[in-house]
Amino acid sequence: MDNLCQYTHRPIAFLLNYVRSRPVAHAAILVAVLGAVGFSVGTQYGIKYLVDALSKGTSSAADPWPAFVLVCTFIVGDGVLWRIAGWIASSTFVHVTGDLRRDLFDHLMGHSPSYFADRLPGMLTSRITATSNASFTIENMFIWNVLPPCVATLTAIALIATVSTLMALGLAVVASIVIVAMFRIAAGGKPLHHDFANKAAAVDGEMADVVGNVLLVKAFGGFEHERRRFNATVEGEMGARRRSLRYLEKLRIVHASITIALIVGLLAWAIVLWQEGAATTGEVVLVCTLGLSVVSATRDLAVAVVDVTQHMARLSEALGTLLVAHELHDHPKAKPLVSRGLGITFKDVTFAYPNDRVVVRNFNLYIEPGQRVGIVGPSGAGKTTLFALLQRLHDVQGGRILLDGQDISRITQESLRAAIAVVPQDICLFHRSLIENIRYSRPEASDEAVMKAAVAAHCEFIESLPDGFDTIVGDRGFKLSGGQRQRIALARAFLKDTPILLLDEATSSLDYEVEESIREASARLMGGRTVIAIAHRLSTLRSFDRIVVLKGGQIIHDGPPGGLINAEGRYSEFIRKEISGRRATIPEEVVGSPVYALTF
């Protein structure tokens, strides 16, 4: 979807792209509207014939019925064509908003985590909604409020030329000046409209941010602080909106002044022509009605320009945020991952986050197929970064990461992530049912397979829930405890059944007994897979083949769990402190066992 980025600063071209995707329907709407406007203005010319016929009195030369039929034909044509245009538009314009939102959603989901880290989720979603609403409004405004007055003005000028060419030329000059002036004045307020659009999006983002963290607000008694903060944000948005609207009101004042003078001048001119015998009564009526039509049309155009300008500004602002080029791309020659034993190699890997220090430099690590490796180290050592790089959530700045000899930068992202199951520390759950959340890792899985995965992950608590597997878990799993959420995440990873399993503190929220039961289940389910686990407690890694200790993005220890306890250095002191700290929370019979003595 990166081809959308060509429209980042071209909102009109962005809209035309979707108009071209449905050319027949849009062409039909355009033809119907043009025909309806032609009939509408033509009705006034029919009335001119009717007035001329009636002005002859009841003499034999007077025959008003042909003029009557002409007027009726124009009226019927006008009404029918408007309804045809409206019927087609009611489907076409809705389809455009659907196409647009799908494309923007696809493009948004293609961004790397760093893109989302710098932006409020509520602000991003509000911009997609704003883009859809603005596009729908602009299309409607153009078809119903911009195009008709423009066409009506041109048609009216052409009909006035049948009465007086000089009058028509004068009207054309004045109308052109009015229209150009309106667009120039409207364009001059673009910065104000952009400021309003940006502040409106900020209000949406602020609300979503506070609502998403409502427990934190309540826990710290932050309601009053958040209320003042939100009020300030709303005041900023209201001020920007007032400045935008007041600027555009100048356009209406200029328009009203000119059009009042225009209609008075036209009517006086037509009366003078009638007095001189250069115009019939019907032609005076025609000039009067057409002049009023031009005034009405340009007034409608002025109002439409006000609305379109604001919506165009909001559309432009939203596109500037959303249509940012993706940071990660599949290589043009990328191929699907060939899944065999899938040994993992970090070869001279160097990586730094944007505007941050280097996290890993010239990092080397080889993990054999089927090996279970634990990664430990202090915060900031690079553990989570290695997980992100392996999933190619970021591209390395130097070196390569290989899966069974295949460079992940030359592998399709879809096939790479299909081979990896992840149990993160911060569990992500949708506001959906439990069965949907577990099945998310393998949408085609049967109910039986989902339930087996839940049993394997010791999700017995599901049976006690009112709706069982159909229970809605709430926003981000709000209705579940931390331990329950982690077991759901484990079940989801087990269901995916991938050759690589990544565990990030997968049992950190569980008590000792549940942790032990899940560790046993994990041992069975991890069989034959390449497993990498991040842990702050080495006790969770006692059954692993290796433990890699990181510090400052470098490996300072690498060996079997038992070997680290006897290793010399500062990290062995940390291990011994952890042993003494946990001794009070673990049953005495476990503490005294030979296994605990080796791996605590």
pLDDT in tens, 195-206: 776 777 677 777
CA distance 465 to 115: 37
Check residue 591 and give its pLDDT. Answer: 43
- Distance (Å, whole) CA 433 – CA 468: 9
Alpha carbon distance 598, 517 (integer Å): 20
Domains of the chain: 2-322 (1.20.1560.10), 340-419+500-518+529-562 (3.40.50.300), 426-497 (3.40.50.300)
Angular region, 476: left φ>0, alpha ψ -120 to 50, beta rest? left
**Given the structure tokens 């119903």, which residue do they identify?**
144
| Mean pLDDT along residues 268-291 | 74
Q: Answer yes or no: is pLDDT of 282 > 80.
A: no
The average pLDDT across 209-232 equals: 75
User: Given 3-state DSSP classes, what are the helix, strand and coil percentages for the chain, each rounded to the nearest 5?
Assistant: 65, 10, 25
Contact 78, 36 (CB under 8 A): yes
More confident residue, 542 or 395: 395
pLDDT tens for 311-362 read 887 788 788 888 888 777 888 888 888 877 778 999 999 998 877 778 898 9
Higher pLDDT, 31 or 231: 31
**What pTM was computed for the model?**
0.69
In the DSSP assignment, the letter for residue 545 is: S
Mean pLDDT value of segment 399-416:
90
Q: Are strands 406-407 and 398-403 parallel, antiparallel or unpaired?
A: antiparallel
Percent of the chain at pLDDT exceeding 90: 10
- CB contact set of 496 (below 8 Å; sequence gap of 6+): 421, 441, 442
Mean pLDDT of 219-247: 78
Are 416 and 388 a contacting pair, CB within 8 Å? no
Q: Which of residues 320 and 23 earns the better pLDDT score?
A: 23
What is the reported pLDDT for 511? 59
The pLDDT value recorded for residue 92 is: 92
At 364, phi and psi to the nearest 5? -130, 130
pLDDT exceeds cutoff 50 at 478 = yes
Buried b (16+ CB within 10 A) or exposed e, 164-200: beebbebbbebbeebbeebeebbeebeebbbbbbbbb
pLDDT at 589: 42
- What pLDDT was estimated at residue 524? 65
pLDDT band at 265 (very low <50, low <70, confident <90, very high): confident
Q: SS3 of 393, please?
A: coil
Three-class secondary structure of residue 558 per DSSP: strand
63: tokens are 């025959």
Phi, psi of 42 (to 5 degrees): -60, -30
Higher pLDDT, 337 or 541: 337
pLDDT of residue 587 exceeding 50, the answer is no
pLDDT at 365: 93
Q: How far apart, in whole angstroms, are the C-alpha atoms of residue 595 and residue 215?
A: 41
CA distance 193 to 479: 42
Q: What DSSP letter does each residue of 111-123 carry, written as one string?
A: S-HHHHHTS-HHH
Tokens of 578: 């952890």
Q: Tell me the mean pLDDT in the region 83-107.
A: 90
The confidence score (pLDDT) of residue 400 equals 93
Residue 349: which region, alpha, beta or left (left: phi > 0; alpha: psi -120 to 50)? beta
Contact 309, 193 (CB under 8 A): yes
pLDDT at position 402, please?
93
Which CA distances in Å does 54 have to 47, 128, 444?
A: 10, 58, 78
Backbone phi, psi, residue 529, to 5°: -110, 155
Task: Tell me the torsion sign for CA atoms 44, 48, 50, 51.
Answer: positive
Q: Which H or E run includes 359?
A: strand 358-367
In the sheet with 420-423, reading across from the earlier edge strand, the strands are 420-423, 500-504, 530-534, 372-376, 546-551, 554-559
pLDDT tens-place string over residues 118-176: 777 777 887 888 888 888 889 988 898 888 888 888 887 787 777 777 777 777 777 77
Contact 548, 375 (CB under 8 A): yes
Residue 592: per-residue pLDDT = 44
- Give the distance from CA 179 to its chain's centroid: 35
Radius of gyration of the chain (CA): 36
- pLDDT on residue 118: 73
* Tens-place pLDDT, residues 53-88: 777 665 555 677 787 888 888 888 888 999 999 999
What is the pLDDT averaged over residues 511-529?
66
Distance CA 139, CA 134 (A): 9
Q: 377 near 383, Cβ under 8 Å?
A: yes
**Residues 43, 78: contact at Cβ < 8 Å?**
yes
d(CA 560, CA 558): 7
DSSP 335: B
